[in-house]
Structure 1
Amino acid sequence: MLHELSITDLGVIESARIEVGPGLTCVTGETGAGKTMVLTGLGLILGAKAVPETVRAGADAALAEAVLDAPRDGAIAQRLAEAGVEVDDDGTVIVARTVGASRRSRTVIGGRTVPQALLADVAAELVTVHGQHDQARLRTPARQRDTLDAYAGDDHKGTVAEYRHAWTAWTEASAALARMEDGAQAARAEVVRLRDDLDAIDALAPQPGEDEELAAQARVLENAEDVRTGVASAHAALGGDDEFTAVAALEAARRALGDAARHDDALGALDERLASLAYGAGDLVTELASYLEGLDADPARLDEIHQRRSDLAGLMRRIGVPDLAGVLEHAEHARARVAEDDAWDETLVERRAAVASTRSALEEAAERLSAGRRDAATRLAAAVREELAQLAMPDADFAVAVEPIDPAPHGADAVAMTLASHPGAPHRPIAEAASGGELSRIMLALEVALAHSTHEGPRTFVFDEVDAGVGGKAAVAVGGRLAALAQTHQVIVVTHLAQVASFADTHVVVAKATDGSVTRAQVTAVEADARVEEIARLLSGQEDSATARAHALELLEASGVRR
């Protein structure tokens, strides 16, 4: 429940504070006085999008604050706790929305800055808002279907979820089969090409890194004489047949240093290092000799390497890759695709079976969903007819038709709300059969029916001119039904009808005042004579008219009796 709403620097409202109690609260005022800004402020604390243009001219920011009951359990309560929101001992929480004219907006719940989406989720748990645009939404089949599903109850929600899961499974299975069947010819042609590629690759049997290894061998063989000369020279200098070689010099130095080290222990480390050099030089001489013996200068081998490299390059060009690694990767992919093709018939059978089984599951889920909707349609139609009888439409026959159609994402039903406005009249879609005023009353009747079936515990309902297009006796009936709804729920109504306002437990008036240069809206709760004057103004436009005042008193007295 909403307990209090404060607005600062929002539109024409400089500052306003409204205490909202249980029961029915009506907001009235002249056109352009600022009733819309009251709803805008209410929308802000319910998580609506912040619009900088609504900030009062000359102000840096607008502020909307409210005291709301917080959800006591469930997922939203857990999210509030995780956000560090502090709930007062009485179960209420303070909500504040700051809308900056040129800076970021801010949302605070219980002293904690939170995302605007969290506030919207909290409000969705507590408040239902209906504006004039809801009448347009009521004209659409999708909206009517959603309304019926909401009325059907929590168990039905599970049925809807099961159907959507079955729909997804069937559509995915069908798509997989279609891709296989529709692309069969192209896929088979691709596999033929891949088989040829594999034959060519397997014929050459390339090995990882082989191209780089062959390139290195080719460089050696192409420059074999220079390589031989260089290695031979290095071998001769290190340990050839000459008297003076590096190995001989190192060995002589090692013996000399070894003799000296016997007399001075400090030379031991140097002796070890020199010995290591001598041994290393000897090993290097041996390795160079071995390399010279194994050096292949055979022109035939070079021709073989060139041919192998040419074959590998042709294979790369055929497949369209820059290196041998790309060839090997292509081979791995091709083998997998060929393996799939080898199991093509088996896979095709499996996919057709999957489509059949998921279609059967979809049809079963659709039947359960349709049965739930048909049952809910009967109950909803009866509930709405009962409500319409109390809204000055006793002869109206409201019905909800559930007709079978091909399965679709939302089910296998077409839902249509129809109306026969008087006895003998044919049933027609409500968008065609109902006038604006009748549509408003049908929407109210639906909301009352939904309130009794889908909401556990008290809830707040906000109606923006639900009485549009209504007058006379029908207006009194609308006011009475709103008052009846307010006996179990908190109801806030923006209205222009005296007949509706007369039922209010709390009557708030938005009045416009100007000093010639600045226009301000004043928001005031009215009682006693002030309330009589406002209802008289709503009746005749003249709050000081004796006739209007007498009629206003009559309305107030009648509304008290009707309660």
Structure 2
Amino acid sequence: MLTGLSIRDVVLIESLDLEFGPGLGVLTGETGAGKSILLDSLGLALGARADSGLVRSGQAQAVVSVSFDLPADHMALALLRENGLDGEPGEPLVIRRIVKADGGSRALINDQSASVALLRELGAMLVEIHGQHDDRGLLNARGHRALLDTFGGIDTRETERLFRVWGEANAALARAREELEAATRDREYLEHAAAELGKLAPQQGEEEELAELRANMQKGARLAEDIAAVGQYLDGSEGGLSLLRQAARRLERIGDQHDKLGEALSALDRALIEASDAEDRLAEAADALAYDPARLEEAEARLFEIRAVARKHRVEPDALPALAQELGAKLAALEAGTRSLAILERSVSDGRAAYEDASQRLSALRAAAAKRLDSAVARELAPLKLDAAQFRTIVEALPEGQWGPRGRDRVEFEVSTNPGAPFAPLTKIASGGELSRFILALKVALAEQGGAGTMIFDEIDRGVGGAVASAIGERLHRLSSTAQLLVVTHSPQVAARGSRHFFIEKSHGLVTRTSVHLLDEGRRREEIARMLSGAEVTDEARAQAVRLLEAA
């Protein structure tokens, strides 16, 4: 809900602060008093084009601020969060627009800089301004389908799900066809590469093992003579181990004769243990470094083949087993490709059929809802002096390329203003007064559905009076029970229906200024009397004003 409007230095308005409440607010005043300035100011804050001509003469800039109270689940708050701006439930939403006299403008949302595009998107969620030049809200055909669905209580969730399933099946089929085509183009390569890797049968870690074996054999060839010489020093009847054992046996016989002899015997025992261990390690090294020319040649041939194939396929040697599996899988997929395509094509066909069935049911529901909406709007036209006009809701099939999650229908509201005249979109209506009344009829038929929480009607009663004006006032009052309305009006019948009445006047002095006043009951009665009688307010006009207010 719009709660406040603050204007500084806009055209004839020097300083103005207005507070709004729920229900129907009316704005009246003499022609030329400045009602359009108020609407231009509000439009500026909601993203309209900035014009330096709006800045009051002699001032550096004009500033317009608007504030809103929004429910916690309002989509405007979600939009702010999506754009990284603060917008907390329960806190006022404040939009400020600054226009400089030398050109340029700034937009602020809750004191944070924002783009004009975001301001415009946000404004469309907050306020609908209905007048002869309005191109949003009900005049935008892109929103008519959603409005009809809401009016008819039509649930599109199942169609959305089936459209998604059909789309996923189509995407899977496209991927499978692409993969099959690529595999078919590469069949000869796949078969050759798979056969080569199958024959080679590389194992994980094999290249490292072969490289280590080769390196050890090459070392063994170089170290064989030294290892043999060391073995001779240790082994044999004249080797070191044999001599140590002989010394130990001899010492063992006399070791108990002196402490030092016992210690010498213990040291010899330790030496024998270490020497035996050294002999074992030497034997193990000899085995590990054993040089076998035939085995070395075989290992080198295998190692070089694995490395060559890895280079050929531009992978690491350890990746060859996985590559072999991948190529085998591709060949298997190629063989099974036709069968897989048939299954996927069947899924696509089933998905399409299910979507078409659901969207056909949607179309039938929309056609029925369109008839009810047409009847509801038709009931509102005659009281609004549009009895010669006709309204219809077009529901027609879209080409397949435009089908979507909410069905395959195009929905648009059309009118014919005179008998025999062709039907045309709402935007083609020439008369601003007719357009506003058509919008009012639609709004009443649709109740609160599909619109912003605040609606502004600019001179909806233009060119009508009497019973028609009363009918407009009654419908505006009815509509204000579900949304906040602000109406610029010249009709006393409409003004009398308002829950708040703002009077706009222009004062002439050294500088012409426009001001706005919230009227109390007495001044409101006098203003409605003025609207009834003209320049000179008569007692009869005052009495009639009282009757209008009492009837409201």
How many angstroms apart in 2 are the aligned matches of 1:341 and 1:329? 18
Alpha carbons of 1:515 and 1:236: their partners in 2 closer, same or farther (altered >3 Å)? farther
How many angstroms apart in 2 are the aligned matches of 1:512 and 1:233? 122
Alpha carbons of 1:139 and 1:489: their partners in 2 closer, same or farther (altered >3 Å)? closer
Code of the aligned partner of 1:421: T
2:296 is the counterpart of 1:302? yes
2:310 is the counterpart of 1:289? no
2:517 is the counterpart of 1:524? yes
How many angstroms apart in 1 are the aligned matches of 2:322 and 2:522? 90
Give the alignment of 1:8-47 within 5 angstroms.
16=17, 18=19, 20-26=21-27, 30=34, 33-35=37-39
Deviates more, 1:140-149 or 1:197-206: 140-149
Q: 1:314 corresponds to which residue?
A: 308
How many angstroms apart in 2 are the aligned matches of 1:523 and 1:372? 48
Alpha carbons of 1:548 and 1:489: their partners in 2 closer, same or farther (altered >3 Å)? farther
Code of the aligned partner of 1:225: A
Deviates more, 1:531-540 or 1:396-405: 531-540
Runs (5+) with no aligned partner, structure 1: 77-84, 88-92, 108-116
Deviation, structure 1 residue 25? 4.7
Pairing partner for 1:429 from 420, 425, 437: 425
Q: Deviations over 1:40-60 (max 9, x none)?
A: 88x7xxxx99x9x99x9999x
Q: Deviations over 1:452-497 (max 9, x none)?
A: 7x59xxx9842234446x6220783674144332563353215264
Give the alignment of 1:109-508 within 5 angstroms.
129-130=128-129, 135-136=135-136, 138-153=138-153, 156=154, 158=155, 160-181=156-177, 184-229=180-225, 231=227, 279=273, 282-293=276-287, 295-321=289-315, 323-407=316-400, 408-409=403-404, 410-432=406-428, 435-451=431-447, 454=449, 461-467=453-459, 471-473=462-464, 476=469, 479-486=472-479, 488-495=481-488, 497-498=490-491, 500-508=494-502
Deviation, structure 1 residue 354? 1.1
Code of the aligned partner of 1:441: R
Alpha carbons of 1:529 and 1:276: their partners in 2 closer, same or farther (altered >3 Å)? farther
8 A contact 1:419–1:434 mirrored in 2: no
Report the secondary structure of 2:366's partner residue: helix
How many angstroms apart in 2 are the aligned matches of 1:13 and 1:39? 18
8 A contact 2:130–2:457 mirrored in 1: yes
Alpha carbons of 1:240 and 1:532: their partners in 2 closer, same or farther (altered >3 Å)? farther
Deviates more, 1:369-378 or 1:311-320: 311-320
Deviates more, 1:531-540 or 1:500-509: 531-540
How many angstroms apart in 2 are the aligned matches of 1:281 and 1:477? 122
Q: Deviations over 1:174-202 (max 9, x none)?
A: 34334445664433233443232221111
Report the secondary structure of 1:343's partner residue: helix
Deviates more, 1:170-179 or 1:10-19: 10-19
Deviation, structure 1 residue 14? 6.4
Report the secondary structure of 2:397's partner residue: strand
Q: 2:535 corresponds to which residue?
A: 546
How many angstroms apart in 2 are the aligned matches of 1:139 and 1:178? 40
Q: Deviations over 1:310-366 (max 9, x none)?
A: 322232233222x11332222232233223233223212211221222122112101
Report the secondary structure of 1:390's partner residue: helix
- TM (norm. structure 2) is 0.70
Between the two proteins, what is the percent identity of the paired residues?
A: 26
How many angstroms apart in 2 are the aligned matches of 1:431 and 1:174? 38
Alpha carbons of 1:414 and 1:193: their partners in 2 closer, same or farther (altered >3 Å)? same
Q: RMSD in angstroms over aligned alpha carbons?
A: 5.5
Give 1 or 2 for the bigger CA radius of gyration: 2
Report the secondary structure of 2:408's partner residue: strand
Code of the aligned partner of 2:21: V
How many angstroms apart in 2 are the aligned matches of 1:14 and 1:280? 106
Code of the aligned partner of 1:429: P
How many angstroms apart in 1 are the aligned matches of 2:20 and 2:432? 32
Deviation, structure 1 residue 63? 7.9
Alpha carbons of 1:34 and 1:358: their partners in 2 closer, same or farther (altered >3 Å)? same
8 A contact 2:526–2:542 mirrored in 1: no
Code of the aligned partner of 2:34: E
Report the secondary structure of 1:546's partner residue: coil
8 A contact 1:26–1:495 mirrored in 2: yes
- TM (norm. structure 1) is 0.69
Deviates more, 1:343-352 or 1:27-36: 27-36
8 A contact 2:429–2:435 mirrored in 1: no
Code of the aligned partner of 1:196: H
Code of the aligned partner of 2:456: D
Code of the aligned partner of 1:30: G
Alpha carbons of 1:539 and 1:340: their partners in 2 closer, same or farther (altered >3 Å)? farther
Code of the aligned partner of 2:354: A
Alpha carbons of 1:215 and 1:397: their partners in 2 closer, same or farther (altered >3 Å)? same
8 A contact 2:69–2:93 mirrored in 1: no
How many angstroms apart in 2 are the aligned matches of 1:507 and 1:191? 82
Code of the aligned partner of 1:463: M
How many angstroms apart in 2 are the aligned matches of 1:284 and 1:9? 101
How many angstroms apart in 2 are the aligned matches of 1:263 and 1:511? 130
Report the secondary structure of 1:206's partner residue: coil
Q: Deviations over 1:89-110 (max 9, x none)?
A: xxxx563648799999659xxx
Deviates more, 1:550-559 or 1:285-294: 550-559
How many angstroms apart in 2 are the aligned matches of 1:495 and 1:236? 119
